[in-house]
Chain A
Amino acid sequence: MSATRPTDDGRRSGGVLAYVGNALGGGGWLLLPVIALLAAAVWLPKLPVTRDAYDHLVIFDVSQSMNVEDYRIGDRVVSRLQFAKHAVAEALKNPKCDTRIGWAVFAGRKIVTLLAPVEVCRNYSALLAALDNIDSRMAFERSSEIQEGLLWTMTNVRDLKPLPTVIFMTDGHEAPPLPPERIRSYDGALGEVRGWVVGVGGLQPQPIPKSDQDGRRIGFWRATEVLQWGGAANVTGGTRHEHLSELREAHLQQLAKNVGFGYTRLIDTQSLDAALHDRELAHPAVVETDLRWIPGLLALLLLGWWFRPDQRPARQAG
């Protein structure tokens, strides 16, 4: 029990000092650093801190083979493109505020940038709305020359400043088939434009849905409607069943290696982590950071220590 009088000491020396001495005695002085830390927490401005930041341009292949439905979200069967979008949207769910992301689509031999990378936290819903708009109606050409598209990207992505890293999501299905002698090597400096090729699609050859220019399904591509590959099986993935499509992984690995990119396959929504959070792709960014939690936490630790429970239980009163 406490009593309500200053100590005898205090009364003898008299005055305010006695009360102060009493307050600070017996470990009470610990409250002074606590108050100082809390005050620091109130008035501490945001400080610039260097952190890992990412700047991704995510490129979606929107050619017709990306409409092959060989993924599932829950028990719903979805197309490669839908699943790729879903995986990216999932990856954005817990955004780090120093990540910037933008969208582009690939068809023919080119990419078209839809959104230059923007900061994710502030623009989360707008980014998702824009992602939602991406579909195969955006295919501005009917062919899908992935090697050319990737090389084109390597050059043209430099128009974006700051230079983003590239996440290229495709099934590797070259249409028309790419003869091995047409494989080109990248003549730029490796490592300048960095990124990942993400392989999208299952390994079973599946019929490719055919759609008109407004995106309406009009059956499937037939064997006689597409250019078949007549030669022997080869690394570029040319087959005798070009009207069917499967993930042409060996070809994509080769393409990725050619431009110095990493390669990963999109199996589930976690697969993108390797690419999106690749430390190699991070660049240091100075971010104004709220550090008030540091003095705040220290103050809390001191308070907690000060009020720590006894080792032995308290005596029973009375």
Chain B
Amino acid sequence: MIDGQNLPLDFAMPWALLLLPLAALPLLRRRREELAFPSLAWLPKDRLGIWVERFGRAAAVIAILATVLALARPGRPEWDVERIGRGAEIVVLFDSSLSMDDEMLARGAHPKRRRDSPLRKRNIARQALSAFVERRPADRFSLLMFGAAPFRVTPFSQSPEVIQAGITAAGISNGLPGTDLGRGLMAAIEQFNGRAYTGSRVILLVSDGAAEIDEITRQNIRNGMRQNRIALNWIYLRSVNWPRLDSEKEPEAVGLITDVAMHRFFKTLPTTYKVYEAESPDAVAKAVADIERAQNLPLEYRERIPRRDFTPYFYLTAILACLGLLAHRATTVRSFSR
């Protein structure tokens, strides 16, 4: 971990420091600045003169030194500070299966797979997530996609830009065959393994359902969620006017067997579970806003303080030294003949 206090200064263009020897130039005695005296023996010792002379040389050395250092672009390197914020550690688990390419349509309507459709589930989820990440600078995000296999896109990252790039990518990839939610969830849980518990932990599942999980994996998921104390939020991208997951009707009757089975399994998890049934872009945005309110527990996080550039101070120093040099010249005799 970079500790700013221990590294007070670095150079963005360190090779410019090769010019540092130039600062020795004013120390060389130069013939053209000498005054010829027939004899020096009779001259009294000129204390003030010696100091004025030294002042002039020092100003010259400083002028060159400061300019060279400024060229090397000194600054304080970026560093992290520990802060306590409000937020969470969130693993976004993004369903990348083929059905996510469908549009969100009313039941019965034939779903089309138009690439740029704003109604595409994938596009809707992407936009909502992207806005969510943008509004949550204190959260730490990790991104996974899953189809038949989990894709660990990024581990917990301090770089919101990279998370956004991952969300962009999740929003464009065409569907993957298979929906192995079990392995996806296990991979998401593993992201927390070995991490110190610093605040609330959430897996944010973005999926349109239709995934089956076998009994062994279910048990592993329960254990993992309990051990790592992870809450589960499911943004369920369902189609308009499908019955809700908790409705009284038997799932078999409405063709939602797998989705309802998922929901019932999640309700048996030892940690918090909440489902957001979102049937339109607005509903997705609302679900995200709701999660935003809920996940506001204190969280230790590191804020990255960007690099501070000190270059102008060094140029200013050089200017002052040059002014000093002028002042020195104003008060000295450099030649008897004019």
Stretch with Cβ within 8 A of A (4 or more), from B161-169, B201-209, B252-260, B293-301: B161-169
Q: Output the least CB separation between B160 and chain A (Å).
A: 10
Stretch with Cβ within 8 A of B (4 or more), from A82-90, A239-247, A292-300: A292-300
Q: Output the least CB separation between B58 and chain A (Å).
A: 13
Q: Output the least CB separation between B14 and chain A (Å).
A: 13
Taking A1-B34, A41-B70, A307-B64 as contacts, is the C-beta distance between A299 and B331 under 8 angstroms? no
* Closest partner residue, chain A, to B35 (CB atom): A1
A31 at the interface (CB under 8 A from B): yes
* Closest partner residue, chain A, to B153 (CB atom): A114
Which of B31, B161, B169, B331 is in CB contact (< 8 Å) with A315?
A: B31
A2 contacts B334, C-beta separation under 8 Å: yes
Which interface residue of A5, A19, A129, A213 has the most chain B CB atoms within 10 A? A129
Interface residues of A in 270-318 (CB under 8 A from B): 290, 292-293, 296-297, 299-300, 303-304, 307-310, 312-315, 317-318
Chain B hits for A122, CB < 8 A: 159, 161
Chain B hits for A119, CB < 8 A: 161
Stretch with Cβ within 8 A of B (4 or more), from A133-141, A191-199, A230-238, A251-259: A133-141
Q: How far is the CA of A123 from the CA of B154 in the complex (A)?
A: 12
Q: How far is the CA of A313 from the CA of B30 in the complex (A)?
A: 8
B26 contacts A133, C-beta separation under 8 Å: no
Q: How far is the CA of A156 from the CA of B171 in the complex (A)?
A: 12
A269 at the interface (CB under 8 A from B): no
Chain B hits for A307, CB < 8 A: 25-26, 28, 30, 60, 64
Taking A9-B338, A299-B318 as contacts, is the C-beta distance between A314 and B31 under 8 angstroms? yes
A13 at the interface (CB under 8 A from B): no
Interface residues of A in 84-117 (CB under 8 A from B): 102, 104-105, 110-117
A31 contacts B333, C-beta separation under 8 Å: no
Which of A7, A9, A126, A309 is in CB contact (< 8 Å) with B157?
A: A126
Chain B hits for A296, CB < 8 A: 67, 70-71, 315
A211 at the interface (CB under 8 A from B): no
Nearest first, the 3 closest Cβ-Cβ pairs linking A and B are A23-B330, A159-B172, A126-B159
Q: Name A's B-contacting residues (CB within 8 A).
A: 1-7, 9, 19-20, 22-24, 26, 28, 31, 34-35, 38-39, 41-43, 102, 104-105, 110-119, 122-123, 125-127, 129-130, 133, 137-141, 156, 159-160, 213, 290, 292-293, 296-297, 299-300, 303-304, 307-310, 312-315, 317-318
